[in-house]
Structure 1
């Protein structure tokens, strides 16, 4: 009887080696979770920045679509160059998550006149520098960019 009590008493709790192995397994799992969390945060920030760049491009495209392009005259903002070239990139500051973020915006206008109708193609590019790097893109000179295009018809 005394022998059984000694066996039960010796088997209570964990040994130091068992605790160290459990902590090692827990640490490996937590490192994997932390790495995944960092990837999710980085991707989320990239999506927020891309969405803001898209909003800035839409705003500029809508502004240019609203310029006068009719038989009565054409706004100077819709003047095309031959051959079509991108305007010099203009800096645009935007507030993202409580901090200022710098974008550059450039436009290109092209005449697509035919015998029967006068058309203009409007291209807007908004770029930003991503720390991940990459080659500079021609329209904005930045390594990330979104571009929008539309065609407008002269109104009579």
Structure 2
């Protein structure tokens, strides 16, 4: 009985949510608000997280620490509500993930930069229309100017670990 109990604890520990995103102390910040939607279904969800830190572990390039969660959306309710701080003045690598009924999922990884002291709104979420089977989209706007914040593709991973450089057979 004890091995079964121990295995269930280990399985539950593997399902812990991402840690909450925190602006580094002393860093300039902007304010951001979520208007992401997950469509009204109890099985649908959307999250916006900072991309995990990548490093060398056991000779391979892997995620060494999880990224912090900025926004979580369930039943079209964003958490946290209202404006919250985000680091500004440097490019941030963010990932939006959507999950919908029928085991459908989508993910958008991008890099954006926010101006210190500015206010932003994130719009997007899960799309379910006749044109698409399942997908998601994201747009970020400066609230004060109305300008769309540019998004660039996620950076290419620099594979500099010893085992990553070995030829594949």
Task: Indicate the structure with greater strand content.
Answer: 2
Greater C-alpha Rg: 1
TM-score where L is the length of structure 2: 0.26
Task: Indicate the structure with greater helix content.
Answer: 1
Q: Which has the higher contact order (CA 8 A, sep 6+)?
A: 2
